Structure 1
C-alpha cells in the first residue's frame, strides 16, 4: 500500500498521526488503513497484546 492509498502511522514519540512514513521506523506504529485507526494505535496494540496473553494462558 502506498502513502496515497491510506498508509497512516502513529508516532510513539510525539503522539502525532501522519500519512506516510514521516517518522523514523523506531518511532512509528503502522501502517493503519485510515487516520482514525492510527489515532487508536496504542489501544489496538493493547487489545492485540491482551488477546495474545489470553492465548498463551490456554
Structure 2
C-alpha cells in the first residue's frame, strides 16, 4: 500500500498536480493514484457535488408526497 505522501494531489489554488504533501491540506484534493487521475479532480469534484446535491434533495423531499393525505 502506498502512503498518501507518495500519491498525487490536485492543488485547488494553482490548478496544478502535485506529488506528496507539497501544499497545505486546505489547498489539496485527493489523494489520487496517478497524476492523470489528479488532473481530472475538478470534474470528479463537480460530479460528486452534483450527486450529493441530488441525494440531499431526495432526502429533503422524502415523505412530502404523502404529507397531508388522509386528512
Q: For 1:2-50, what per-residue CA distance to the aligned partner results, in whole angstroms no more than 9, with x for missing partners? A: 20xxx10011111110111111111111101111110011110000011
1:8 is matched with 8
* CA RMSD in angstroms, aligned pairs only: 1.0
For residues 41 and 30 of structure 1, the distance between their equivalents in structure 2, rounded to whole angstroms, comes to 8
> Larger relative contact order (C-alpha < 8 A, sep ≥ 6)?
1
Larger Rg: 2
TM-score by length of 2: 0.71
SS at match of 1:9: strand
What 5-or-longer segments of structure 1 have no aligned partner? none
TM-score by length of 1: 0.84
